[in-house]
Structure 1
């Protein structure tokens, strides 16, 4: 009996404990924090429906979007440890109730469109370590309460509209290491009190409206490595002598600050790598003890410096950039500056001495190939007949450095052994191994690097990243698992790059495990990679999880509970925020990486839109080549007054290009929308359009393309990959609707990039229909005659196969050099007739030169399949890319083995007049006149044959 009583009492006690626990009442998350999150949700507008926050579910138990939790063993509740809501296209304001999330360590609203002021209640989150609010539309002043966060390490507020002074209370942040508050509207004096911050490393306040003087006390910061205050107004202030004693300083950038006086002695800055104090009013001499021996970049342009160029510049073995232009320097041009630099294929030195008083050259001027020296505007150029320096005295062409896809090593691997259609590829950093694997992509931007040329530091960067990225506890990546795929310098200067991470080389798997993908993503999103003297702090721009990783839910972007479509919309985003503006008559836009230019900016860039800068013209308006204030060369598309396309196409273009980023899509730099003008600013494509290339009509592009088969195949594959990205990786998918030779542009390496998204359409497919190429949109027919899908023209049902048809026409242009419609005849019919008559060779563009006939036949067959009338009979873009890759492999194998399956140029019959038996130049349409004689080549024997073309009946 006693035992039963004890058992009964034990059950009662157990039940009482269970019923009193939070779990028993369905309260997994602290109720106060649930209420706070709901208040936060009520202040936000989620037009893309990314947030799954509802009163009917528990935040932590139901994996609310962006809510990361941990369990507190003391009270039994789950508590919010992190809000990670980056790049969700959120608008609205920040709720004061955020201050009730007192257990939160990381608050992340990066790259949204949040407006209003920062609530002072955030100062109550004593556990907060990262405050990440960059790239929004926040206004107002900073509350003093934020200066009392005892654990705050990173204070990231750049690219907002925050105004007012910097609170003196910020001197009370004992653990802060990063002040990233550039590109705002801060005013007033930099508080000298900030000098007491013991751990501050990066002090980035450039592009604000700060005034007063430069506080000498900042030199007392014991950990300061980057001091970046460009484009403020410290009119009349001097550079304090004390700044020469900031012993850990790596980068000093005080460009365009209104500074006066002389350059202080900076010889105590033994770690200084980057110095930019240009565009001020500095006077005096550049003394020989000014510069660190390890420096990479010296920019002293546009001051009033006098005296001679220091001789000790010749001892700077790491120097990459030396700009002393627009000063009063006199004496000799030193000819030994580069003597101690070891040049490799990646090393370069850029020197600008323009517009000084330099009268002669010391010694023998023997300039290495990797050195650029500019001397125009100096007296030495008037004596050019005495020295062979005329080439150094020409006008400056600005900086035309384009985005750079880094060359991958050539692999000799068996064809068809890598399932490229599933986004697998050979690992480029294993050149002697044909290891096929699926990469995970990350877009990154170095916010303030201390170099001007990345390539010499590429290996060091690879090692820096891989040794700090953990895929498992105590297990980092091998160096070969990282490949830097592309780099691009942006204003700042900042360095944008795209990284590809590959799984470990084993016999068991060629993909990352889901936990490994999540670990890599968390490393970057949590900003756990330590700082680097050379590479500085970074921005996380995007993740690209495709192929076998398409369904991986990345905790760094909000964890579970989000639809695949919403997740993909985030991880495939890039540096610009998604902005839906179609149909809106006028909007104010602010996007990270997509700049709003003034009309005056565009006038200056294009020299007033003079005719000499015009490089193209279309139905939308004219296109000009321009140079921005930072030296970046761009293409400016200016809408003509009264353009029928108007706002809709203008905003559609911005929306689409802010969604998609790929090496084969043209990048949008910015836009101008004021004074009745609408202009789009793109990356400049040095080699124009494919139409220019084939027709040879545009003389504005200086280089001449090798119009051989290899170049044409390279262009076809690049354009196809860009369109494949739009169809299968953009979320929702995008149908371009205007694929044509004019909209395929070519960079300096003849890489094709698809452009002009003014009439593109998003495909509103459901979750079940994703990837269904037969999904249709009813729409008014848009496009260019000759390229429009016949079935789309008749039914107005737009599908992804409509782009396939247009691309097929482009392929035919590449092979024949003809236009889609000429003299009333259609290129598809003409090519079909020629091939059906066994005379394909006669219509191949003779400018192609010798070519491998089997490869050409396969490309021709693919082009005709793409341009079939029936949608269902055309290949998908995945099949198109796969076939082009197979043709490329065949071509490379034939080239490497010296194959002879090549049609010689002398035997190619192209355009000729009726009755002619020799190569001529008449219109192609005359080939198909009734009973016209022809001369052709048998594809099997290679013999010349003659005959007549049968009558072609019109369809």
Structure 2
């Protein structure tokens, strides 16, 4: 078998085997980077309640691991919000060096320290650990994350100081360290250390509800682009820095519930984009600056301080103002609420001050509280000097279209969209600086419902709001329940998606609700999973091993079946080839020009030709030519034959072999056909061609052909060779010369092809068909 043939037979087998492997082996098999795979498995080993999908697939990058997304085999996103993970975050997280998003928010059971190896994640842009139970200090290695834009570590149990290295995060947009147990001062840069004052591109400073101390000196500058500054509920001291008035982009400023002293800097009135100013519960002194230029103000709250003097009358004319709370100070003089009072103004609270008189325009019909002021001695002010118990009921999503008898199990709730029982995704949404105080306005909260439905891709009417109130921190707190659009529960991918949209601030509430954060409850269907998490993990590991072994055996079995089928197919072709030798002609003989067109030729096997020529013995050789040697042979029935055998290095090849047997199958000579010679016969096997000439029966046919075993045999053999040579020249001559009239090479006479006839001559051909021409 030739080398080319071997290659042709092997290649399809290998290709089919590869295709079979591609089909039977799961997509993404071995696609994940080995380091990333190791890191994810290490993370999983530290969790007693990893997502169940993490045990159902061997490759995290094939789309089977909830929360894992990959790019070119590298994990670039790990989003596991709200899936009830319990355990710790392994140091191996630092091996996911192509990670861009890391969100494990709202997993209350995720605790322990935050690994410093997160600082290795140089590609990280989003880091969200909100609503978990992390402890320990915030690692200074976070300063290595130069691509970071969103950092949310709020609502954990972090302790220690704020690392000054956070000041190196020059691309940071969102910085939320609120609701922890952080201590120490706010880091400000020096000649040798970085500080938060360098974060000139950051929009959000959320440091509220910690135990931070020290002053705010040096923290603010006019290069900053801050919009939300929240330092409420800390232990900050010292004055409000005048530099704060240079941050003209500010929209919300909350410095309440600290120990700030001194006067309010007059240039605070430069904050013309400010919506809320809350400086309450400090030890501020002096007078209240003129705020009349701050036309975007909705809320002014500077209660529980030591402010004095007269309340600026222009304050109440601000067009967007809804609430003014100046209670528990030392304001005095006459209160002027006159002129063009804002029709948005709902509440003015000046309780417990030194005001002894008030001029109130009759058009103002909303709430004014002057309890505890000397002016309450004036009968005209009596209506403002008593606390009224208002029985206003806060908004609650209506279930009026549901039957009063509808009820659900303790872990389910009524879906307001269809009144059916379902498992909602629930939690508290906390708005840190809303621009309103009226909790009865249905329009306001229905806008919130609509925005949640639309932006979170939920079914209309599938949002339920309840327990709306202002908490002790003066935050607007709302219990939110989101229901699945179909079925009775959310899938894990849906929980992850919604959780990320809320933790990453992708969801935007109506503008008047201000900045918010969300803390999810543990999803009911996942709440009990942690108790059996370890057992599930063990079963899943065994299942994965079994599946892997079974899958491997299946692949091997299928490959074996394909190879067996290919081998059987090859055997069929070989059998067919022995019956019809030209089945493989076009494949194995590229230069042959196609299979020969024969007229009744007889086929011999190579073994038959070997037997009749005594294995091509030299004693049987009767001549040779450009194609090879010619042998005389005797068939088993006594028939004489002449056999030509191709030789390696022959000047003639496949094309000549094909022409030879085509010619011999068509030509008829009177000394051959009429005197005993019958059809052309041949043998063909692989790359060895055998051309078998005319056979001659053992009988006396006259002429030069004889049946004797003497020299007449040689005459017959020579006659065959001569006639065959003449026939070949007759074929080749007109084709090569392309003449209409040419001289027959053996007769010496001209043949007129236009007449399609020639005269009969000695040793001329009779009934010889040459592309439609004949001689008679």
User: What's the TM-score once normalised by structure 2's chain length?
Assistant: 0.57
SS of 1:134 mapped into structure 2: coil
What corresponds to 1:58 in structure 2? 58
- From the superposition, tell whether residues 58 and 255 of structure 1 become closer, same or farther in structure 2 (CA, over 3 Å): same
What corresponds to 1:448 in structure 2? 432
Alignment partner of 1:539 is 2:538: no
- From the superposition, tell whether residues 36 and 501 of structure 1 become closer, same or farther in structure 2 (CA, over 3 Å): closer
Alignment of 1:894-905 (within 5 A): none
What corresponds to 1:495 in structure 2? 476
- Max Rg structure: 2
Q: Is the 8 A contact 1:279 1:303 kept in 2?
A: yes
Alignment partner of 1:528 is 2:506: yes
SS of 1:358 mapped into structure 2: strand
Question: Which of 303, 307, 311 is equivalent to 2:309?
Answer: 307
Alignment partner of 1:147 is 2:114: no
What corresponds to 1:333 in structure 2? 335
Displacement of 1:231: 2.7
Question: Which of 520, 526, 531 is equivalent to 1:567?
Answer: 526
Displacement of 1:64: 7.7
d(CA) in 2 for partners of 1:446 and 1:7?
71
Q: Is the 8 A contact 1:266 1:290 kept in 2?
A: no
SS of 1:183 mapped into structure 2: coil
SS of 1:106 mapped into structure 2: strand
Q: Is the 8 A contact 1:122 1:146 kept in 2?
A: yes
Q: Is the 8 A contact 1:335 1:365 kept in 2?
A: no
Question: Which of 208, 212, 215 is equivalent to 1:213?
Answer: 215
What corresponds to 1:380 in structure 2? 375
Provide Cα deviations, 1:459-490, integer angstroms capped at 9, x if missing partner.
Answer: 6545654564457xxxxx88x77665553333
d(CA) in 2 for partners of 1:416 and 1:168?
57
- From the superposition, tell whether residues 261 and 57 of structure 1 become closer, same or farther in structure 2 (CA, over 3 Å): same
What corresponds to 1:689 in structure 2? none
SS of 2:60 mapped into structure 1: coil
Displacement of 1:120: 0.9
Q: Is the 8 A contact 2:298 2:320 kept in 1?
A: yes
Displacement of 1:379: 0.9
- From the superposition, tell whether residues 84 and 213 of structure 1 become closer, same or farther in structure 2 (CA, over 3 Å): same
Provide Cα deviations, 1:301-323, integer angstroms capped at 9, x if missing partner.
Answer: 12111111111122133333211
Q: Is the 8 A contact 1:355 1:377 kept in 2?
A: yes
Displacement of 1:82: 1.0
d(CA) in 1 for partners of 2:492 and 2:136?
41
What corresponds to 1:771 in structure 2? none
- From the superposition, tell whether residues 360 and 27 of structure 1 become closer, same or farther in structure 2 (CA, over 3 Å): same
Displacement of 1:515: 12
d(CA) in 2 for partners of 1:116 and 1:296?
41
Q: Is the 8 A contact 1:419 1:425 kept in 2?
A: no
d(CA) in 2 for partners of 1:288 and 1:54?
61
What corresponds to 1:72 in structure 2? 71
What corresponds to 1:244 in structure 2? 245
What corresponds to 1:350 in structure 2? 347
Q: Is the 8 A contact 1:251 1:450 kept in 2?
A: no
How many residue pairs get aligned? The number is 514
What corresponds to 1:266 in structure 2? 268
What corresponds to 2:175 in structure 1? 179
SS of 1:179 mapped into structure 2: strand
d(CA) in 1 for partners of 2:165 and 2:12?
56
What corresponds to 1:393 in structure 2? 385
Displacement of 1:298: 1.0
What corresponds to 1:664 in structure 2? none
Displacement of 1:180: 1.4
Alignment partner of 1:160 is 2:156: yes
**Which runs of no fewer than 5 residues in structure 2 stay unpaired?**
189-194, 533-776
d(CA) in 1 for partners of 2:372 and 2:163?
46
d(CA) in 2 for partners of 1:87 and 1:338?
54
- From the superposition, tell whether residues 97 and 423 of structure 1 become closer, same or farther in structure 2 (CA, over 3 Å): closer
Q: Is the 8 A contact 2:174 2:205 kept in 1?
A: yes
What corresponds to 1:189 in structure 2? 185
Question: Which of 90, 93, 97 is equivalent to 1:95?
Answer: 90
Structure 1 window deviating more from structure 2 (490-499 vs 8-17): it is: 8-17
Provide Cα deviations, 1:664-716, integer angstroms capped at 9, x if missing partner.
Answer: xxxxxxxxxxxxxxxxxxxxxxxxxxxxxxxxxxxxxxxxxxxxxxxxxxxxx
SS of 1:82 mapped into structure 2: strand
Q: Is the 8 A contact 1:489 1:495 kept in 2?
A: yes
d(CA) in 2 for partners of 1:227 and 1:213?
15
SS of 1:169 mapped into structure 2: helix
d(CA) in 2 for partners of 1:484 and 1:153?
31
d(CA) in 1 for partners of 2:177 and 2:132?
12
What corresponds to 1:406 in structure 2? 396
- From the superposition, tell whether residues 223 and 441 of structure 1 become closer, same or farther in structure 2 (CA, over 3 Å): same
Q: Is the 8 A contact 1:68 1:80 kept in 2?
A: no
Q: Is the 8 A contact 2:150 2:175 kept in 1?
A: yes
d(CA) in 1 for partners of 2:492 and 2:177?
34
Displacement of 1:367: 5.4
Displacement of 1:254: 0.6
What corresponds to 2:551 in structure 1? none
Displacement of 1:53: 8.1
- From the superposition, tell whether residues 167 and 542 of structure 1 become closer, same or farther in structure 2 (CA, over 3 Å): closer
Displacement of 1:51: 4.9
Displacement of 1:204: 1.0
Structure 1 window deviating more from structure 2 (10-19 vs 180-189): it is: 10-19
d(CA) in 2 for partners of 1:87 and 1:250?
34
Displacement of 1:329: 0.7
Provide Cα deviations, 1:98-135, integer angstroms capped at 9, x if missing partner.
Answer: 11122331231434244432111011123333322233
Q: Is the 8 A contact 2:80 2:104 kept in 1?
A: yes
- From the superposition, tell whether residues 513 and 43 of structure 1 become closer, same or farther in structure 2 (CA, over 3 Å): closer
- From the superposition, tell whether residues 363 and 492 of structure 1 become closer, same or farther in structure 2 (CA, over 3 Å): closer
- From the superposition, tell whether residues 488 and 539 of structure 1 become closer, same or farther in structure 2 (CA, over 3 Å): same
Displacement of 1:357: 0.9
SS of 1:331 mapped into structure 2: strand
- From the superposition, tell whether residues 568 and 4 of structure 1 become closer, same or farther in structure 2 (CA, over 3 Å): farther
Alignment of 1:32-47 (within 5 A): 32-44=35-47, 46=48
User: What's the TM-score once normalised by structure 1's chain length?
Assistant: 0.47
Provide Cα deviations, 1:603-624, integer angstroms capped at 9, x if missing partner.
Answer: xxxxxxxxxxxxxxxxxxxxxx
d(CA) in 2 for partners of 1:461 and 1:5?
71
d(CA) in 2 for partners of 1:204 and 1:95?
27
Alignment of 1:870-909 (within 5 A): none
Provide Cα deviations, 1:745-782, integer angstroms capped at 9, x if missing partner.
Answer: xxxxxxxxxxxxxxxxxxxxxxxxxxxxxxxxxxxxxx
Displacement of 1:251: 0.8
d(CA) in 2 for partners of 1:419 and 1:188?
51
d(CA) in 1 for partners of 2:27 and 2:197?
52
d(CA) in 2 for partners of 1:70 and 1:283?
55
What corresponds to 1:316 in structure 2? 318
What corresponds to 2:254 in structure 1? 253
Alignment of 1:609-688 (within 5 A): none
- From the superposition, tell whether residues 14 and 33 of structure 1 become closer, same or farther in structure 2 (CA, over 3 Å): farther
What corresponds to 1:119 in structure 2? 115
Displacement of 1:71: 4.2
- From the superposition, tell whether residues 407 and 141 of structure 1 become closer, same or farther in structure 2 (CA, over 3 Å): closer
